Amino acid sequence: MLYNTAYTRQLFDFVQANLKSKDGWYNGFYESLRQPNKTLTANNNGVILESLLYKEVGQPLTVWARVRSQKSTKRAIRIPQVTAKILRH
């Protein structure tokens, strides 16, 4: 989705036509077997959904959703008391 080329359009069309299921998108395609890898994972589907969002709004998810990095927040990470006690020993 980042590059609008003939190849990426062909790849997108292939994924939509061959790897889409009622529950999401399959993980890939076995060229030698000429069949999809029918595994469904949150990682693969998350990447596809982020790509579709980028195509729609023209921004990465974190920019579009205005997510701030941990460095920009003023909150300190607190260690629970039990963990702190274990770390001291």
**Chain segment 50-76, per-residue pLDDT in tens:** 988 988 899 988 999 998 876 655 554
Cα–Cα distance, 33 to 47 (Å, whole number): 25
pLDDT beyond 70 at 3: yes
pLDDT for 31 equals: 94
* Number of other CB atoms surrounding residue 12 within 10 Å: 15
pLDDT beyond 70 at 89: no
pLDDT for 82 equals: 52
Cα–Cα distance, 14 to 6 (Å, whole number): 12
The H-or-E segment that residue 16 falls in is helix 6-18
Provide the whole-model pTM.
0.65
The residue that leads in pLDDT, 75 or 22, is: 22
**Chain segment 23-47, per-residue pLDDT in tens:** 999 999 999 999 999 999 999 999 9
How many residues in the chain? Answer: 89
Give residue 54's identity as a one-letter amino acid code: Y
